[in-house]
Amino acid sequence: MLLKTTTKAHIAVLFTNIFFASNFSLVKYISPSLVGPYGLNVIRVGVSLLLFWSFWLLGKTKAGIRKEHLPRFFLCGLTGVAINQMLFIKGLTMTSTIHASLLMLCTPLLITILAFWVLREKITVLKALGLSLGIGGAVLLILSKEKAGTATLSGDLFIVLNAIAYTIYFIIVKPLMQVYPPLHVIRWVFTFGFVMILPFGWGQFAATDWQLYDWSHFASLSFIVVCGTFLAYSFNIYGINHLGAGITGSYIYTQPIFAAIIATLFLQEQFTAEKIISGILIFTGVYLVSRKNTPVIEE
């Protein structure tokens, strides 16, 4: 029996978030011990870029972009790939998997803040409460101490800055998605981003000693590149096309759950009271800012 398109889309988006959640633990498994975080980005973005362009060769769409869109593509490559990915991998190597996965949920909160600031949207009672709870949970998580010293303030701040960069990317890429096919946009965003990442990561990539890798390290690297980047981005676009951005975006709430399970099983990370309370505050905050048709606070 053939699955409906919407069912396939839900499955694709679910696997997208499982792939992204797996990245948290797999990155820590090989970086920075075997490859520097920026060197890993060269591999991750570079190989994915080759795959994106290889699949373009099988299609019939044009490869070019309009000259007037070059500055926006440049900014998207800077915020959505270069800054975003470098800060994410670097921060992840300096903090715990559970910390990073929970802090990534700050993205919807940051989008709401920018909507108030840039788009002049009116703030509602529940959104104001949600922002307060979400930001409070993030601050509590950042200030909490890890017994094993696996989470650092610098690492947590890198993850937050990564979320800020992705938030800016999420806003400025939307006009391009209305002009070009989504995969075409991602292909060029990765192209611009890879050029920017290369100067920072080439030294670490060139210094990688491949003889230190065993089968599990190569398997982890392959999963990060193929599943955690190329397929994850492709499946996510498939979900957006058939389910819409709202439903697809809501699946991000599953990432900390999957990431925590994987980290607990394979990295022996532990839950603490601070993590649980922070998670509840962040989840509640994101839920409240995502609700619609709530009373507006009078100015």
- Span 210-231, pLDDT tens digits: 999 999 999 999 999 999 999 9
Q: What is the dihedral of CA 283, 220, 191, 50, to 10 degrees?
A: -140
Please say whether the beta carbons of 226 and 50 come within 8 A. Answer: no
pLDDT for residue 299: 32
pLDDT band with cut points at 50, 70 and 90 for residue 294: very low
Residue range 134-151: average pLDDT? 64
How far apart, in whole angstroms, are the C-alpha atoms of residue 74 and residue 253? Answer: 30
**CA-to-CA separations, 222 to 100, 186, 259, 276, in angstroms, rounded:** 22, 20, 18, 32
Please say whether the beta carbons of 186 and 48 come within 8 A. Answer: no
Residue range 268-286: average pLDDT? 73
- Does residue 142 or residue 104 have the better pLDDT? 104
| 3-state secondary structure (DSSP) of residue 296 | strand
Mean pLDDT, rounded, of the chain: 81
Residue 19 Cα to chain centre, angstroms: 11
Strand partners, 124: 296
How far apart, in whole angstroms, are the C-alpha atoms of residue 211 and residue 130? Answer: 49
Q: What tens digit of pLDDT does each residue of 194-203 get?
A: 999 999 999 9
Q: What tens digit of pLDDT does each residue of 38-53 get?
A: 999 999 999 999 999 9
Residue range 9-26: average pLDDT? 88
How far apart, in whole angstroms, are the C-alpha atoms of residue 122 and residue 299? Answer: 9
DSSP characters for 49-61? HHHHHHHHHTS--
pTM: 0.79
Tokens of 221: 């690297």
Going from N- to C-terminal start, the domains of the chain cover 5-290
Given a cut of 90, whether residue 136 has pLDDT beyond it is no
How far apart, in whole angstroms, are the C-alpha atoms of residue 54 and residue 47? Answer: 10
Helix (H) or strand (E) holding 298: none
Given a cut of 80, whether residue 84 has pLDDT beyond it is yes
Please say whether the beta carbons of 231 and 8 come within 8 A. Answer: no
Q: Which stretches of 212-272 are DSSP H helices?
A: 215-222, 232-243, 245-250, 255-266
Strands (E), the chain: none
